[in-house]
Structure 1
Amino acid sequence: MRMRLTILYTGLFLVTTTIVLTVVNLLLRNMLDRQIVVTGSRALPAIPPDAPPDSGNYYATDVLSRLPDTVLHFQWTVTAITIAVLTVVSVAAGWWLAGRLLRPLRHITATAHRLSLSNLHERIALTGPRDELRDLADTFDAMLERLERSVDSQRRFIANAAHELRTPLATQRAAIQIGLDDRLPDHLIEVRQKLLTANQRTEQLIDSLLLLAQAEHGLDTTQPVALDLLTRQAANETVPDGVILILDTQPATVPGDPVLLHRLLTNLLQNAVKYNHPDGTVHVNLTAMGTLTVRNTGPDIPADRIADLFQPFRRLHTRTRATDGAGLGLSIVASIAEAHHATLDARPNPGGGLELAVRFPALAATGTAQLVV
């Protein structure tokens, strides 16, 4: 926009300047022609037809007739030089003026880029005259204030929902475990186990939904997290269930939330184990540049269905290793990665299975470590 405004200012200046100088030069020539005719007829006698060419009167008349061309030639030369100099000046002045006019807009844009759910309290707070840009900034500030109130309301709702939903489930689980802990008939033992399983799945679903909502709201604070150590911890906590889990990590540190990052790693590893073949493999690689890759064997996945994996409650097929879960694992992974400004890529492996790559920004890493679980 600054370049377009500069070109517009310069173009308008050149057009108006050229028109003005051209009109002035043409009027000057017309005036010179008329003045010379009048002056010549008054000051010089008429030249006789038989007068020699080198007579004084003939020479004076010739000088007067060529005077307009001489003056106009000089005038056009000065005009061309003036237009060239003023063109350079107009480009510099237009660039500077456009920059000053667009400075508030750049401030608005920079603030809008910097804002996220974790710093909605910031405002543009544009100062200066009450013009269109000031009105635009005030409109953005009012919108941010409404958005901040909405996000705060959602966060309070999530906290209250977590308490209100977890408490009755915990009470229900305790009642099932304690109330049905005595000697029971065989058919009641089976019912008791089904109730506990349903209760556990409901708690896991609620925890996953709340974690998904928390990740989508962004990070309030961050701290340095040793991603390689967190990866090894998540791998040790994952039950391979007959699957070979291979780790190849390099120490790396990333700013983020350790709880959310641990959940991201756990979900990736659990997903790679559950969607696998018996005696399959899971390869986990963490590079020094902060790229975490989880690759597993498993059923074939169409490339055009990859995006469906990151949608809540979506499954492409029945798990080959387990049947529990709510279909939120990779949705939570995607939300946590976005909250940490990381990119998440997925592609099917040629022999079956999936390869997931998470690339974290602003990493510092050194050293190498390998572990086979």
Structure 2
Amino acid sequence: MRIWRRPARTVRLRFTVLYGAMFLLSAVGLLVITNLVGLGGTRVSRSAPPGTPPVEPTTLAAATERIAWLQTQLSDTHAAQSRQFLIGSALALAVMAVVSLVLGRLIAGRVLRPLRMITAATRRISADNLHERLAAQGPADEVKDLADTIDDLLERLENSFAAQRRFVANASHELRTPLATMRASLDVALAKPEPVPAQTAALADRLRTELDQVDRLLEGFLMLARAQHGALTDRTTLSLHQLATAALHARTADIATNNLTVRSPAAADTPGTVHDSAWTQGNRTLITRMIDNVIDNAITHNHEGGSILLATTTDGATARLVVETGGRVLDQRQVDRLAQPFQRLGADRTHSGDGSGLGLSIVAAVAAAHGGTLDLRARPEGGLRVVISLPAAAVPAEVAA
């Protein structure tokens, strides 16, 4: 014995019922209007036509003439009634077409409202809040299945991001242990009382330099992974001007070694309020590293006797850090790739080989994690213009006081 099961309430079934009922109502309304028009035409046709002779026919010829006249009047009446019926039907069809479109739009909007809600909720979810779910409510139909499928996809993405973050962090930390051991072994070997051959000492210095480079590369991996996939905790209000000034002061020796000049633009050169504090909110460690990378890039990738332009501005709801450097004329197509990991413009642009190719990619990742952007432009006169835009924050109360 087969058990009867109630059909599932699918979106297709609901569309069928709703639109079927809509067109049925439209057809009923059209028939009612056309019948009313037809009844009006029938009543007109039953009335005596104007100009009817009042006298009765008395002869056969007069009767024949009377019949022919009546037939002509009847044909004219039928033609007028047909035209009236056709015009009424056309008007009724036009009215019902408009009504059907309006009703169809309203009903379709109501039916598709859950899909719009799912689309809006999906757009709000990004890499920073993959833990959120749609959690759609309603009958078990296609819309509910779609929302559940998206939730499953978000869960898999969250697990994948978490696994990637754990892998990068664990691999970097695990690799630091043998690096420290290797560096300590070199120091112990060089510290022995026996004379160390010059070739061995040179090789040890070369190995120590390479180990330092690998250590910086691992630190860059950790910072990049944290900026791209880590949760931004410990948000505080920061001044881009203060952090950039501190970064410049910490690198005074490098600036003097390369004979660089640090300057600030005039108010006409940079939109906004030049030299303001440019307050923003974010993680102090990440934003400090972001600014340090920009300043290091400006010092390292510059020509001898060049200049560094530094400005912080606030324009509406955006706080900006602008850093311009001198140098040769660059290709904008190559500059656009600098925000990607391990992208360089060539060894001739660097004074040393200690660049890991992660500096500007970390800057882009930190800016994106804070809801900002990184804009890199090749200057027509040579060099690079770096603009970091972050959401502006209100001046802290203690600073304003």
- 1:59-208 equivalence runs, <5 A: 67-69=77-79, 71-72=81-82, 75-76=85-86, 78-79=88-89, 82-178=92-188, 180-183=190-193, 184-185=195-196, 187=198, 188-208=200-220
Determine the C-alpha separation between the residues in 2 that align with 1:337 and 1:359: 7
Question: Which residues of structure 2 form unaligned runs of 5+?
Answer: 1-14, 47-55, 265-273, 397-401
Asked whether the 8 Å contact 2:29–2:96 carries over to 1, the reply is: no
Is residue 379 of structure 2 the alignment partner of residue 355 of structure 1?
Answer: no
1:210 alignment partner in structure 2: 222
1:40 alignment partner in structure 2: none
Asked whether the 8 Å contact 2:247–2:292 carries over to 1, the reply is: yes
Q: Secondary structure at the match of 1:300?
A: coil
Determine the C-alpha separation between the residues in 2 that align with 1:61 and 1:307: 89
1:77 positional shift = 5.7
Deviations 1:324-372 (A, max 9, x none): 2222212222222222232222222222211122222355579xxxxxx
Determine the C-alpha separation between the residues in 1 that align with 2:322 and 2:102: 52
Range that drifts further, 234-243 or 296-305:
234-243
Asked whether the 8 Å contact 2:280–2:394 carries over to 1, the reply is: yes
Is residue 247 of structure 2 the alignment partner of residue 234 of structure 1?
Answer: yes
Question: TM-score by structure 2 length?
Answer: 0.72
Change (3 A) 1:49 1:264: farther
Range that drifts further, 259-268 or 178-187:
178-187
Aligned length: 344
Asked whether the 8 Å contact 1:286–1:293 carries over to 2, the reply is: yes
Deviations 1:82-133 (A, max 9, x none): 4454444334322221221221211221122111222111111112222222
Asked whether the 8 Å contact 1:250–1:365 carries over to 2, the reply is: no
Letter in 1 for 2:378: P
Asked whether the 8 Å contact 1:215–1:339 carries over to 2, the reply is: yes
Determine the C-alpha separation between the residues in 1 that align with 2:111 and 2:236: 40
Q: Secondary structure at the match of 1:322?
A: coil
Q: What is the aligned-residue identity percentage?
A: 37
1:341 alignment partner in structure 2: 371
Deviations 1:286-311 (A, max 9, x none): 21122222110012212232233233
Deviations 1:15-46 (A, max 9, x none): x8599659967x969x97xx98xxxxxxxx99
1:78 positional shift = 4.9
Change (3 A) 1:347 1:365: farther
Change (3 A) 1:282 1:46: farther
Letter in 2 for 1:229: Q
Change (3 A) 1:159 1:327: closer
Letter in 2 for 1:244: T
Asked whether the 8 Å contact 1:277–1:320 carries over to 2, the reply is: no
2:238 alignment partner in structure 1: 225
Letter in 1 for 2:186: I
1:182 positional shift = 4.8
Question: TM-score by structure 1 length?
Answer: 0.77
Determine the C-alpha separation between the residues in 2 that align with 1:64 and 1:127: 66
Determine the C-alpha separation between the residues in 2 that align with 1:302 and 1:292: 23
Determine the C-alpha separation between the residues in 2 that align with 1:362 and 1:68: 79
Determine the C-alpha separation between the residues in 2 that align with 1:151 and 1:311: 19
RMSD between superposed Cα atoms in Å: 4.0
Is residue 260 of structure 2 the alignment partner of residue 243 of structure 1?
Answer: yes
Asked whether the 8 Å contact 1:309–1:315 carries over to 2, the reply is: yes
Asked whether the 8 Å contact 2:34–2:92 carries over to 1, the reply is: no
Letter in 1 for 2:187: Q
Determine the C-alpha separation between the residues in 1 that align with 2:329 and 2:73: 98
Determine the C-alpha separation between the residues in 2 that align with 1:326 and 1:149: 29
Q: Secondary structure at the match of 1:327?
A: coil
Range that drifts further, 103-112 or 317-326:
317-326
1:201 positional shift = 1.3
Match among 291, 309, 314 for residue 288 of structure 1: 314
Change (3 A) 1:142 1:19: same
1:140 positional shift = 0.9
Is residue 319 of structure 2 the alignment partner of residue 307 of structure 1?
Answer: no
1:70 positional shift = 5.7
Q: Secondary structure at the match of 2:237?
A: strand
Q: Secondary structure at the match of 2:130?
A: coil
Q: Secondary structure at the match of 1:155?
A: helix
